[in-house]
Structure 1
C-alpha cells in the first residue's frame, strides 16, 4: 500500500484518539477497584490478603501490576469463527501471516514470528507438529495476551506471550449445540459443536466437542525470472500449482472438578485433537526463453495423505494452607502421532517420467510435565505516615518436563531410465529435558503504586541420535530477572507502566537435526535444508513502557513503546555443496527491534451524546528492527510486519435481540533482506469482516458472518542476487470472500 493510501487509516485513528482525550478531560472520576481485606488472627502479626474486587469490578488489564490483556469468550465467539487464527487477527498488536482464509498463518506480536511470539495452551507449549489453527474457538474460555514476560510462564517470549485457556467455568445444567456452514469460491466447510456442563454434589463436569470438514479445489500461479552474471535474462518460467483435497477433524475437551472441602479442589482436564488430510496436486511449468534449460521436472503429479492426533491430560490439585497460603500443583502427560505419505511423479517436455518418489514419515512424541506454585500473602515492614504496610503476594514454583520424540522417514525412488535414484532412510530420536524454577513477588508500595519482581531460571538439555550423523547433545540455560511496575496518578484515570525483562528464543529441535531435506527442483530459491546442532538460544533484553487513560463506560486510551536487543540472532544462510544449493540456520551477531502502539476503546456516545449505541475499538502498531549481520536497507528482523492497524464497530439493540458489527484489519508488507544475497517481499493485507447475531428467543440464536469482504489477492516474492546473477519468484494466492451461517440451540 502506498503512503497516501495509508493516510485515511492513520487520520481515523488519530481523530478517534483526539476526540477521546478531549472527552476524558471532562469525564467524572472513575471509581477505584474495590479492595476487600481479609484479616486472620493466627499470629500476633496479623496477615492480610488483598482480593481485587468482584468479577464485575475487577479488570485484569487495569488492575494487575503485570501487564495483561484478557479476551473473554463472548469476544472470541462474536464472529462465529471456526479457527482461532481468525480471532487473533482482530486483536490489537497481533497479526496473522499468509493469505486470508488459507489457514496455517504465523501468529505474530510486534510483527515478529518464527518463535519470537510464544503460544501456550493452558500455560504450556503445544508439541511440535500441532497446529493452533486446528483449535476451535468454542473450546476456549479466554485468551491472555502478555506483552512483557512474567516468571510464572516460560520466558521464551521475546515478542510476547499468547496464552489460550481452554474452558474451565462450569455453568449449571448448560447444554449448547451449534451447527455451522461456511462457503467460498474454492472451498466449503461444515462444522458442528456441542458444549454441556452440570453439577452433581461436590463434583462438576463439562464436555466440549467440535467436528469439521474442509474441502477445497484451487489453483496457485507463480512466475520465475533470472539473469546471468552479465545481466542478460536466462530464466523466464510460468508455473501453475493445482490441488484439491479434504481435511476432517475434531476436538474433545472433557473436564471434571471435585470440591474436596476446606477450599481444596482436584481437577482433571483433557484435550484431544485429531485431523486427517488428503490432497491431489499437479504442478506445470512452461519455459518462455530458449536459453532457459527449464527445471529438472516441468510436470509433477502428486498426492499427499496425513493423519495427526494429539492428546494431553492434566490433574490439578489446589490445597489451601494456613494464613492464606496455597499450593497449586499440576501433573500431566501428552502424546502426538503424525503419519504421512506422499507420492510424486516427475517428467519433462512430455517425455516419460524420470522421477517416481515415495516418502513415508512417522513422528511420535510422548511427554510428561509438572508445574506448581506455592503462594502466600504477607505484610512486610511497618505502616507509616498514616498508610498501611506494604502487602506482598509471594510465589515460588517449578516447571519440569521430559519429551521423547521419534521421527522416521523413508524415501524411495524407482530406478527409471534417465533418472538418478536417491533412496534415504532418515530416522532420529530426540529427548528434551527441561527444568525451570521461579520466584515472584507483587506488592502494593502505596495504594497507587505497585511493583512486580520475579526471576526464572530455565535449563534445557537436547539429545539427538539418528542414522547418518553423529549424536548431538546440547545443554543451555537462561536466567531471566523480571521487573514490572504500575503507578496510578492522583486523578484516578491515568496510570503508567514500566517493564524490564530478559527473555530468549530456543532453537527448535527440528532445526538442530543435521540431516538433509531434499527439494525436487533444487535451486537458489528452492534449496535443500539441513539442521545445525550448534545452534544456541537467542537472548534479549527488553524495555516496555506505557501510559493508559480510563474513564466511564469501560472506555480507555493507551500508548506504549517497546525495545528489544537480541544477541546470538539466528537466521538462514545459503551455500552450495557441489551442484546443489543448501540452506541452514546459524547464530550470527546482534539484532534490535523497536515499536510503538496506540489503542482506543470507547462507546461512541462518550464522544457524541446523540450517537447510536456503537462501541468503537481502534489500534495502530508501528515496528522497526535492524539485523547487524545483514547489510541494509530493509534488513528487518524475521521479515517483521512494519505497520498494522485494526478498526472495529459493534452495535447491540436496546432489547439485546440484535448484535452486529464490523472489523477491518490492515497489515503492511514490503521488502525485507534476509541475507546479503536473499530478500523477500510480503504484500499488504486487508481484511474486512462483518457479523450479525439474532437472539430469536432465550434458547435459539442465528449468527451470520462474512469474512474477507475485499477478497484481496496475496502475492509474495522471493529474491536472490549475487555476482553469478539474479533469481526472482512471485506466487499469487487468490483472495476469496467467505460466507458463514451458525445456528445455536440451548437446551
Structure 2
C-alpha cells in the first residue's frame, strides 16, 4: 500500500486549504470593525477574574493551555504529557510510549480526541503539539464521556478557535548521538463574515541508529546456572509522518452554527534489527543470529459534521455525524539459521458515529444535559506468512479475519449550585458493546457487555473564598470499567521464533469480561495568591474481574493469554503546588515555580506479594519545574523522576525496570512580534531504558532476560515565523 493513499481521499481538502487564503483576502473592508468588536468581547470573557475551569467546575478538571503545550518545542504530544502532573509516559525502549494516570495504562487510562475515541489508524506519537488547542485531564469520570476511564481521562482538544488572518510556520530539527530529524508545522486561519476556517499541517522525519545489549540467565530447579547468553541488537530505521487538520465553520445565525472538522494522517516506519546471541553456558537458542526487517505504513481519514443550535428558552442542541477510514500494511522479514520468513499483514478499518447532546438551564441554577453516542466499526485483517525452514518447506495457512464492534451509550447529568459555596453534579451513563469476530482459522466469536455507571461529584468552597484566595473541597464517587479489545478476544496465535517463558506465543481469550471499578476521589485545594495553588488529593479504585496475563507451557510451546482473575485495589495520593516567586518574595524576579508528587499503591488479590502491583504500576513520580520571562527572553526547565523496581505480575512472572530521571530545558528568543527562535534540551542526564522479565517455576527453574536500550541527550531548535 502506498504512503500517499490519503491524498487521493483528500484532494478536495487540500485544494480548499489553498484557495481559502485568497477568499479571505478578498473580504470587504466593512467587516473589519465588526471583527474588531468580536475580538474585544472575547477578551472580556477571558479576563483573569472570570471563569477558571480548574477552580470553578464542579467536575474536577486540569486544563493545559496551548502556551504550555508548545513551550518546549516538542514534536510529539507524548513529550508534552510527561510534564503534566499526575501523568507518566512509560516506554520500554525509548520509542513511543504508553500514557498512564495513577501509574496505570493498558486501557485503564482513557485518551480521547475532541471528547471521542480516536479513530482507527490514529497514533498519538504523530500528533503535533501545534495542532492542539488544550489538554483536559479529568481525574474522575463524567457521564458525558465514556466511562472506560478507571484511572482517569485525558481529552485532547484540537484547535478550534479562529483568529483573523493567522499565518504561522515553524521549521525545526532535533538531533542526538543516535538520531536526527527535521519537522515543519503550518497554521493558517481567517474569517469572512459568517464563514471561518483554520488549517493545521505538520510533517516530520526521524532517522535513528543504536545498539541495545542484553543478557539471558537460566537457573535449574536445584539452583545451578544452566544457561548464560549475551545479546547484541544493533538497529537502524526511519519514521515519517504527515498530518493535515482542516476545520470549517459556518455561522448561519447568531445561535446557529455548522462545523466540519477533519483529521488526515499518513505515516511510515522502517526498522532493521540484527539480534546476535552468544551462548556461554547451556544450549544455543533456535535462532542465535536473527535478522529482522520490520516496516509499516498507514493512512487514515476522520471527518465529522456538527450542528449547534441555541433556542430562545436557553436550551442548546448539538448533533454530530462522522465517518472514518484507514488502511495499514505491516511487513516482517526474518532470516536466520535455515529460516527465511516473510509475514505481510494488511488491515482496513471503517467507522461511522453519531452523537447528540441536549442542554438546558432551569430555575435554581440547574443545568440538565441528555445525550447519546453510537458507533459501528468494521475491521478486516489479512495475514500471509511464508516460511522456509531447514529441510522441507513449511507453509502456514493464510489468515483472514473480520470484526465488527457496535457501541451505544446514553447519558444524563445535572449540575447545579445548591448554595453560592456548594455545587453538585449527578450523572449516569449506560454503555453497551457488541463484538463479532470471525476468521478462517477459528470459529465465530461473539461477545457483548453493558455497564451502568452512576457518578456523583461535589464542590464546596469554604465561606470567604473570594477573589484569588480561598479553600475548597471536592468529592467524587464513580463507577467505571475497562472493556477487552478485539486483539484480546481473538483466539489467533502469534508465534515467537525463540519461544521461551520470557518470549512466549500469544493467544487471545474470547471469554474475557469487562473489568468493573468503584472509585472514590477526595481533594483539598488552597488558592492563596494570583496564580498560586496547593492541592492535595487522594483516590481509591476497587476493580473486579481483573484481567491479567497467564504464562504456561502447553506441552510443546510457551504461551501467554489474558484471563479474568479475581480483583485488584489501587490507591493514589497526589500533591501539587504552583506559584509565582513574587507571591512569597518581595521584588522577586519573574519566575513561576511548580512541583507535584504522586504516590501510587496497588494490590492484585490473586497474585502473592510482595510487589504484586497492578499493571506494572509506577509507585512514585515527582515533577519539578520553573519558568522565567523577561522582555524578549523566556526560559525554563523541568525535572521528572519516576521510580522503578520489581513487579510480580503473576504467580510465576516478574518484571523489573530502572528508575528514570528526565531533565529538560528550553529558551525562547523573540526577535520581533513575528519572528522567534526556540531551543530545547531533552534527556539532559542521558538516562538509558532498562527492562527485565523473569519467569520462575519450581518445575522448570528460573529464566531472566534483561535488555538496555541506549538513550542520549537530544537537542531541538525551532524557528517560528508569522506572516
Which TM-score applies when normalising by structure 1?
0.89
Tell me the residue number matched to 1:734.
Answer: 710
CA positional deviation for 1:424: 3.2
Tell me the residue number matched to 1:355.
Answer: 339
Decide which moves more: 123-132 or 461-470. 123-132
Tell me the residue number matched to 2:28.
Answer: none
d(CA) in 2 for partners of 1:416, 1:674:
37
Tell me the residue number matched to 2:431.
Answer: 458
Tell me the residue number matched to 1:487.
Answer: 460
* Secondary structure at the counterpart of residue 297 of structure 2: strand
Q: Deviations over 1:579-635 (max 9, x none)?
A: 200000000101000010000010011112243211001000000000001011100
- Is the alpha carbon distance of 1:596 and 1:716 closer, same or farther for their aligned partners in structure 2, counting shifts above 3 Å? same
Q: Are residue 620 (structure 1) and residue 597 (structure 2) matched?
A: yes
d(CA) in 1 for partners of 2:509, 2:102:
27
Tell me the residue number matched to 2:647.
Answer: 672
- Is the alpha carbon distance of 1:284 and 1:674 closer, same or farther for their aligned partners in structure 2, counting shifts above 3 Å? same
- Is the alpha carbon distance of 1:227 and 1:415 closer, same or farther for their aligned partners in structure 2, counting shifts above 3 Å? closer
d(CA) in 2 for partners of 1:566, 1:298:
42
Structure 2 contact 384–397 (Cα < 8 Å) conserved:
yes
Summarize the alignment of residues 86-235 of structure 1 with structure 2, pairs less than 5 Å apart: 86-98=79-91, 102-235=94-227
CA positional deviation for 1:127: 3.7
d(CA) in 2 for partners of 1:299, 1:109:
39
- Is the alpha carbon distance of 1:511 and 1:93 closer, same or farther for their aligned partners in structure 2, counting shifts above 3 Å? same
CA positional deviation for 1:58: 1.3
Structure 2 contact 92–691 (Cα < 8 Å) conserved:
no
Structure 2 contact 63–135 (Cα < 8 Å) conserved:
yes
Structure 2 contact 232–275 (Cα < 8 Å) conserved:
yes
Return 5+ residue gaps in structure 1 as ranges. 1-50, 348-353, 380-389
Tell me the residue number matched to 1:299.
Answer: 289
* Secondary structure at the counterpart of residue 441 of structure 1: strand
Q: 1:77 aligns with which of 49, 70, 73?
A: 70
* Secondary structure at the counterpart of residue 744 of structure 1: strand
Q: 2:327 aligns with which of 302, 321, 337?
A: 337
* Secondary structure at the counterpart of residue 514 of structure 1: coil
CA positional deviation for 1:56: 5.7
Q: Deviations over 1:453-485 (max 9, x none)?
A: 000000000001101211011110000000000
CA positional deviation for 1:404: 0.2
Tell me the residue number matched to 1:370.
Answer: 354
d(CA) in 1 for partners of 2:643, 2:273:
31
CA positional deviation for 1:415: 4.8
Tell me the residue number matched to 1:529.
Answer: 506
* Secondary structure at the counterpart of residue 76 of structure 1: helix
Q: 2:546 aligns with which of 545, 569, 575?
A: 569
- Is the alpha carbon distance of 1:510 and 1:166 closer, same or farther for their aligned partners in structure 2, counting shifts above 3 Å? same
CA positional deviation for 1:98: 1.4
* Secondary structure at the counterpart of residue 310 of structure 1: strand
d(CA) in 2 for partners of 1:725, 1:340:
36
Tell me the residue number matched to 1:391.
Answer: 365
* Secondary structure at the counterpart of residue 107 of structure 1: strand
Q: Are residue 403 (structure 1) and residue 383 (structure 2) matched?
A: no
d(CA) in 2 for partners of 1:462, 1:433:
7
d(CA) in 2 for partners of 1:127, 1:170:
24
Tell me the residue number matched to 1:7.
Answer: none
Summarize the alignment of residues 614-653 of structure 1 with structure 2, pairs less than 5 Å apart: 614-653=591-630
Summarize the alignment of residues 523-602 of structure 1 with structure 2, pairs less than 5 Å apart: 523-602=500-579
Structure 1 contact 668–683 (Cα < 8 Å) conserved:
yes
* Secondary structure at the counterpart of residue 133 of structure 1: helix
d(CA) in 2 for partners of 1:233, 1:175:
65
Q: Deviations over 1:93-128 (max 9, x none)?
A: 10000168x331110000000000000111111245
Tell me the residue number matched to 1:431.
Answer: 404
CA positional deviation for 1:491: 2.8
CA positional deviation for 1:201: 1.6
CA positional deviation for 1:54: 5.5
Structure 1 contact 570–585 (Cα < 8 Å) conserved:
yes
d(CA) in 2 for partners of 1:278, 1:715:
23
CA RMSD of aligned residues (A): 1.3
CA positional deviation for 1:55: 7.1
Tell me the residue number matched to 2:694.
Answer: 719
Structure 1 contact 183–740 (Cα < 8 Å) conserved:
yes
**Corresponding pairs, count:** 675
CA positional deviation for 1:131: 2.3
Q: Deviations over 1:388-437 (max 9, x none)?
A: xx3100000000000001111111112533x7735131221100000000
d(CA) in 2 for partners of 1:431, 1:346:
38
- Is the alpha carbon distance of 1:357 and 1:201 closer, same or farther for their aligned partners in structure 2, counting shifts above 3 Å? same
Tell me the residue number matched to 1:687.
Answer: 662
d(CA) in 2 for partners of 1:169, 1:711:
39
d(CA) in 1 for partners of 2:487, 2:49:
46
Structure 2 contact 213–231 (Cα < 8 Å) conserved:
yes
d(CA) in 1 for partners of 2:481, 2:200:
35
Q: Deviations over 1:286-330 (max 9, x none)?
A: 0011xx111101001121221111211011100112310000111
Q: Deviations over 1:169-206 (max 9, x none)?
A: 10111100000000000000100111010011210001
* Secondary structure at the counterpart of residue 324 of structure 1: coil
d(CA) in 2 for partners of 1:626, 1:187:
39
Tell me the residue number matched to 1:387.
Answer: none
CA positional deviation for 1:447: 0.5
d(CA) in 1 for partners of 2:405, 2:502:
33
Tell me the residue number matched to 2:16.
Answer: none
d(CA) in 2 for partners of 1:517, 1:441:
47
* Secondary structure at the counterpart of residue 630 of structure 1: coil
CA positional deviation for 1:57: 2.1
CA positional deviation for 1:53: 7.8
Q: Are residue 284 (structure 1) and residue 276 (structure 2) matched?
A: yes
d(CA) in 1 for partners of 2:641, 2:609:
26
CA positional deviation for 1:552: 2.1
d(CA) in 2 for partners of 1:132, 1:239:
31
d(CA) in 2 for partners of 1:717, 1:294:
20
Structure 2 contact 121–300 (Cα < 8 Å) conserved:
no
d(CA) in 1 for partners of 2:472, 2:95:
38
Structure 1 contact 103–133 (Cα < 8 Å) conserved:
no
Structure 1 contact 157–504 (Cα < 8 Å) conserved:
yes
Structure 2 contact 366–417 (Cα < 8 Å) conserved:
yes
Q: Deviations over 1:79-100 (max 9, x none)?
A: 0000101000001010000168
d(CA) in 1 for partners of 2:571, 2:332:
43
CA positional deviation for 1:551: 2.5
* Secondary structure at the counterpart of residue 285 of structure 2: coil
Structure 2 contact 537–574 (Cα < 8 Å) conserved:
yes
Return 5+ residue gaps in structure 2 as ranges. 1-43
d(CA) in 1 for partners of 2:274, 2:389:
22
